[in-house]
């Protein structure tokens, strides 16, 4: 049910990104009888992974099945799903009905009262041959997503910063007794970290990784620059995260930088610093998993619906006063 204050040809909300965050926002908005279009470029972050784990009632679904079910649910509430890439969000200067315009690579232009950016992040892996093609299968980053599946195997941590590596290695001890850190780009391990790792039986192998190859004793092995191999049941890395936020270039959306990298800055509900533009999922919280991304999407949707309800009430009151 489009509200009277939605301009002709416009809709209440355009959601950019049909991952768990965007589709969750669309579900809540569709059920709130908002007119919604979701635009998606078709590259969900975990597409390379065999399964989604840790999402209550959906544990073990393939990422494709998970999203297909979500798309079916939102379609049931009249949400329009568009396969395209959003190239820009533009503020339309219209004092009577301030709106945003989302420009799509395919040429369509979508007017909306609010935009949700739920376009996710890209994982940038350490520059070691053989990592990228094994990403999501034998090269992993998140023990909560995949640790159980590789439990009791020898696990190798390929380090590129010592702080994150020590934490990751100590965490992995929860899933296996056999953890080896290949120091690679992390620099020397100091005395404090060395004693912590040693206390938990984590081996530390100095030296640079040359490539990751199929293993002889297990699925994968790290080959060091000077020749030796470290065999493993899986290799864990700490990717750097890059935001898929080019659509906001030129709008000056504020970002915030923390331990894990740079994310879009929002308030607790998901408002960015650009009026009318909201954000949810990994673009806001680099560490959130599927469940958390969906929650951020739902939270933004509830915030937007509340905001529009208030805007509409004010507009209706002004219109009524003008008629008196
Ligand atoms: C290998 C791997 C395995 C994982 N396994 C798990 C797991 O088991 N359990 C778990 O809870 N979490 C897991 N995660 C984390 C999970 O992938 C994220 O939490 C989740 O994808 C975040 O959802 P999102 O909606 O923010 O982004 P995404 O799922 O990445 O969705 C963003 C969508 O936006 C689209 N998009 C981007 N830019 C544009 C644009 N300009 N225009 C239109 N569309 C655009 C993308 O194509 C994509 O479809 C894993 C991550 C990785 C890397």
CATH number at residue 65: 3.50.50.60
Stretch (H or E) spanning 31: helix 20-31
Which pLDDT score is estimated for 218? 85
CA of 253 to the centre of ligand 1 (A): 21
How far apart, in whole angstroms, are the C-alpha atoms of residue 141 and residue 130? Answer: 15
Residue 3 reports pLDDT greater than 50: no
- Name, in order, each residue with C-beta under 8 angstroms of 224's C-beta and a sequence gap of 6 or more: 182, 205, 207, 208, 209, 210, 230
Position 189 in a domain: yes
Q: Do residue 14 and residue 114 come from a single domain?
A: yes
Task: Report pLDDT for 83.
Answer: 98
Q: Are residues 133 and 34 in the same domain?
A: no
Spatial neighbors of 277 by CB under 8 A, at least 6 apart, are 89, 100, 114, 115, 117, 248, 251, 253, 271
53 and 186 in a common domain = no
- Torsion sign (Cα): 288, 291, 294, 296: negative
Helices within 33-137 (DSSP H only): 63-75
Q: Is residue 312 within 8 Å of residue 5, measured between CB atoms?
A: yes
Are 64 and 97 part of one and the same domain?
yes
Paired with 112 in beta bridges are: 11, 100
- Domain limit, last residue, from 236, 262, 293: 236
The CA distance from 154 to 293, in Å, is 31
Residue of 89, 97, 98, 90 whose CA lies nearest to 117: 89
Distance CA 302, CA 28 (A): 7
What residues make up the domain containing 292?
10-123+240-323
For residues 156 and 103, state if they share a domain.
no
On whether both 218 and 300 belong to a single domain, the answer is no
| Three-state DSSP class for residue 308 | helix
* Residues 237 and 141 sit within 8 Å (Cβ to Cβ): yes
User: For the segment 74-111, what is each residue's pLDDT rounded down to a tens digit?
Assistant: 999 999 999 999 999 999 987 666 699 999 999 999 99
In a domain, 198, yes or no: yes
DSSP 3-state assignment of 73? helix
Q: Which residues line ligand 1 (CB under 6 A)?
A: 16-22, 39-46, 48-49, 52-55, 85-86, 118-120, 123, 136, 142, 145, 244, 247, 281-282, 288-291, 293
pLDDT of residue 4: 45
Does residue 5 belong to any structural domain of this protein? Answer: no
Same domain, residue pair 164 and 208:
yes
116/160 same-domain check = no
Q: Is residue 1 part of a domain?
A: no
> Considering its fold, how many domains does the chain have in total?
2
**Under a CB-based contact definition with an 8 Å cutoff, are residues 33 and 1 in contact?**
yes
In a domain, 30, yes or no: yes
Same domain (yes/no): 21, 116: yes
Neighbours of 118 (CB within 10 A): 32
* Residue 13 pLDDT > 70: yes
**Are 198 and 244 found together in one domain?**
no
Q: What is the H or E stretch that residue 270 is in?
A: none
Domain boundary at 214, 236, 258, which? Answer: 236
Average the pLDDT over 305-322 and give the result: 96
Strands 179-182 and 203-205, by their bridges, are parallel
In a domain, 59, yes or no: yes
* Residue 288 domain-assigned (yes or no): yes
Q: Are residues 134 and 209 in the same domain?
A: yes
The band of 187, judged by pLDDT with boundaries at 50, 70 and 90, is confident
Instruction: Say if residue 74 is in the same domain as residue 176.
Output: no
Radius of gyration for the chain, computed over Cα atoms and rounded to the nearest angstrom: 23
d(CA 106, CA 87): 9
Mean pLDDT of 246-256: 94
Whether 15 contacts 38, CB under 8 Å: yes
Q: CB of 244 within 8 A of CB of 119?
A: yes
| CA separation for the pair 181, 171 (Å, rounded) | 12
pTM of the entire predicted model: 0.95
Q: What is the mean pLDDT of residues 228-244?
A: 95
The conformation of residue 62, written as its DSSP 8-state character, comes to -
Greater confidence, 97 or 274?
Answer: 274
Q: Whose CA is nearest to atom 1 of ligand 1?
A: 136
Q: Which of 21, 119, 150 to mutate to test the pocket of ligand 1 (most atoms within 8 A of CB)?
A: 119
User: Has residue 4 been placed in a domain?
Assistant: no
Last residue in a domain, options 236, 264, 294: 236
Centre of ligand 1 to C-alpha 61, Å, is: 15
218, 231 Cβ separation under 8 angstroms: yes
């Amino acid at each position: 049910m489009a509200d009277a204050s939605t301009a002709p040809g416009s809709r209440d909300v355009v959601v950019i990104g049909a991952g768990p965050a965007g589709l969750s926002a669309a579900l809540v908005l569709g059920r709130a009888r908002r007119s919604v279009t979701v635009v998606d470029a078709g590259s969900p972050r975990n597409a390379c992974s065999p399964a989604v784990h840790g999402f209550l009632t959906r544990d073990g679904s393939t990422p494709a099945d998970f999203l297909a079910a979500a798309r079916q649910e939102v379609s049931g509430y009249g949400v329009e799903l568009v396969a395209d890439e959003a190239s820009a969000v533009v503020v339309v200067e219209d004092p009577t009905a301030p709106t945003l315009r989302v420009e799509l690579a395919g040429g369509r232009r979508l007017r909306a009262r609010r935009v949700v950016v739920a376009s996710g992040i890209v994982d940038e892996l350490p520059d070691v041959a053989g990592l990228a093609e094994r990403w999501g299968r034998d090269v992993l980053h998140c023990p909560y997503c995949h640790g159980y599946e590789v439990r009791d195997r020898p696990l190798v941590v390929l380090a590129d910063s010592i702080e994150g590596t020590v934490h990751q290695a100590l965490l992995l001890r929860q899933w296996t007794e056999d953890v080896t850190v290949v120091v690679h780009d992390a620099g020397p391990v100091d005395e404090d970290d060395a004693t912590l790792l040693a206390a938990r039986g984590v081996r530390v192998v100095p030296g640079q990784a040359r490539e990751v190859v199929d293993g002889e004793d297990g699925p994968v092995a790290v080959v060091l620059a000077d020749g030796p191999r470290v065999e493993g049941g899986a290799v864990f890395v700490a990717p750097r995260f890059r935001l898929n936020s080019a659509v906001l270039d030129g709008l000056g959306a504020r970002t915030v930088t923390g331990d894990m990298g740079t994310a879009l800055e929002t308030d607790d509900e998901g408002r960015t610093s650009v009026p009318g533009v909201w954000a949810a999922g990994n673009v806001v919280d680099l560490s959130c998993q599927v469940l958390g991304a969906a929650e951020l999407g739902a939270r933004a949707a509830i915030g937007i619906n509340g905001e529009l309800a208030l805007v509409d009430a004010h507009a209706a009151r002004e219109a009524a006063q003008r008629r008196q």
